[in-house]
Structure 1
Amino acid sequence: MKVEEFRKNIKAGSKVVADGQEFDVEQVVKFRFDDGNFYIKCFLSDGFVLADDSNDDFFVLVKEIKNDISEPFPESLEYDGKKFNFLFEAHAVAEETEGKEIFKFGEGERFWDYESEDGSYLSLGIHDQTGERQDFYGKTIEEVEVV
């Protein structure tokens, strides 16, 4: 399923199959970037997060991590024995929320995303309201199925 179809079908309470695993969707959040574009971020069972990228039509499946990487974040870094290259920095605000209240309407996050050559994905984030770090590690995937 491509991002456009995913966005039409995803709902809190549904199930998704991503990377061969089935997850319950606990919350769906529509985040609006400062430039006006948006992305969908789903908080899943077992602590996983699924986010879409409509520009390149792929998904990121990640899980929250703790690490010692500190600001200012570098252009490249090593994590889990892999070299990651900086992709972009962005800021977004929760414009719509559905399901369990994990991320609240109106809350924002700033994040710095990185990718390794093998498709591993690292997102270093800071929650606007609390100032807390919210870092995620996982990988990019091409297909997600809403079941």
Structure 2
Amino acid sequence: MTEPAKHIAQGDFLLSLIPQKHPFVMVDSLIEYSEQHVVSSYTVREDNILAAQNLFMAAGLIENMAQTVALHTGYKYYLLDRPAPTGYIGAIKKAEILRLPQVSERLTTTVYILHDIMDVTLVRAEVVCEGVLIATSEMKTALAQQV
């Protein structure tokens, strides 16, 4: 019998780490964190704004990957005891959606930090559902300039 995954952040604490708010939250747990990667999970809800006809749309998968990047940034700033900045998707490269998940399926998203220079981060993301890879992408995110 395997142990359940330990969660670093859920609920209100998780929401404090990302700029998105309901109904546009596409992550529900931070599972792993390191400087080089982050793992989140999300159970697709029927009332999700990007779910239709019992499926989580491709835009939802892309947003899930981007919010996982935001979790990485937010948790890094939390560990530094600094407020997390807002970030934006700057570019999406090589996005591939292999299957759309159904409502109530659980996604596990892993983001690998490839480069993080001058508030621009290049990542590779993978979304797994029921043990099967269903989406991948490379994306560039940028942090908003602090005033």
- Normalization by structure 2: what TM-score? 0.41
Q: Which has the higher helix share?
A: 2
Which structure carries more relative contact order (alpha carbon 8 Å, separation 6+)?
A: 1
- Normalization by structure 1: what TM-score? 0.41
